[in-house]
Every structure is written in structure tokens, then in C-alpha cells.
Amino acid sequence: MQEEEKNEAGAAGEQSPQPPAGDGGGAAPSAEAPRNPNMKWYIIHSYSGFERKVKESLESRVAAFGLQGKIGKVLIPTESVTEVRGGKKYTSERMFYPGYVLVEMDMDDHVWHVVKSTPRVTGFVGTGQQPTPLSDDEVQHIVYKVADSREKPKLKVKFEKNETVRISEGPFATFQGIVDEVNEDRETLKVMVTIFGRSTPVELEFNQVEKVA
């Protein structure tokens, strides 16, 4: 049965619905109302590393079984991460929740079976055999987290108190200072810089400083 479903999905490949904007898997769900007002967001488990394959397979199966009115968007929440290598900044996408995929569904037995039998899907998040939908607050938290990441990529670098850094941007560019405080959540540092012979605290963002080798 599963093999027949796969073949049908393959045959319907040309009819696959257009993926959400920014098909890196991390596109935030639209704020517009879903086509079916009964749709809710559910979390499914997948084999780690196969999240995008699961997303593609689900979208193909939606077309193959004519479930566009029962299954909406498929979302892999990701964040933008910037790394500095060799003095250059490189931005890449990193998954918030490896091994998990979010699916918008009007759940019934048939929809449950179609999603559960998708290759590389291991099950739903929920209690017992009953999948548990996400609350509105949980959905909005994920949406905002993805949106914030798009606007301001997280800088993948760790700073420590008493570490020496060089300021690369702003009025104190080229100055060196000592890290006095690190705020990981806001991605800011308080750096003690010697100005006119006095040690002065300067608040800077992570991307405004460089580590001194």
C-alpha cells in the first residue's frame, strides 16, 4: 500500500502545490486565514537530516491524494546564522528543531494515515496515539522567532568576560578593549575602552567587534 502511495505521489509531481515563499524550509506561515478554518498546526517527528525530504514528500502526497483542503503549509523552522571566517561573514540557515516538521492540518483518520505513512516520518508529537495541536501562542512564538531571524541573523560567535576585542564599526572603530559583560539574548557586549586615558564602558553589538588573536 505504501509503495502504491509513493507511485501515485511521483505521478502527481507536476501538480505539486507551490512551496511556501523562501523554500529553505524556514518560511514563516502566512498571517492570512488558512483555506480550511479547521486547520491546526501539528508537529511530526522525522529522521534527523531528512526534514526537507519529508517536506517535499508531504507536499507531493497532498497533490496525489487531493488533500489541498485538508493539509495546508509544511514548515521547517530555521534561523539565519552568521559566522565570521577569515575576516568575512557567511550567513547560513540552521534548524531550530532538528528532527521535527510542522504541518497545518484538518486532522481526521485519513489525513493521519497519509502523514504517518510518509517515508521518513516516525510519528506525531502528542499524548498516546492522539496528536496534540499547537496552541496559537506556540504558533506565534515560532513565527516571530523565524521572522526575527530573517531580519537580524544570529552571529555564531562566543565572547567571554575579560577577553580582548577590537571594535570594527562605529565611532570607536580600530580601538581595542576588554569585555566586561556579555548579553547573549540581546547579542551585545559592554566593552571597557581606554579613551583620553580613562577606561570607559561602551555597549556594542556582537557584529561590531572582532576577537583579537
The yes-or-no verdict on residue 199 having pLDDT over 80 is yes
Please give the CATH topology (third level) of the domain spanning 164-211. SH3 type barrels. (2.30.30)
The yes-or-no verdict on residue 22 having pLDDT over 50 is no
Q: Which residues of the chain does CATH 2.30.30.30 include?
A: 164-211
- Give CATH for domain 2-154: 3.30.70.940
Residue 129 confidence (pLDDT): 67
Portion of the chain with pLDDT greater than 70, in percent = 71
Looking at the chain, how many residues does it have? 213
Residue 148 confidence (pLDDT): 65
Give this prediction's pTM. 0.53
Mean pLDDT value of segment 30-51: 78
Q: How would residue 212 be classed by pLDDT, with cut points 50, 70 and 90? A: confident
Mean pLDDT value of segment 145-169: 74
Mean pLDDT value of segment 172-182: 90
Residue 170 confidence (pLDDT): 80
Name the more confident of 92 and 189.
189
Q: Which residues of the chain does CATH 3.30.70.940 include?
A: 2-154
Q: Which three cell numbers stand for residue 100?
A: 521535527
Who contacts 34 (Cβ-Cβ below 8 Å, separation ≥6)? 72, 73, 104
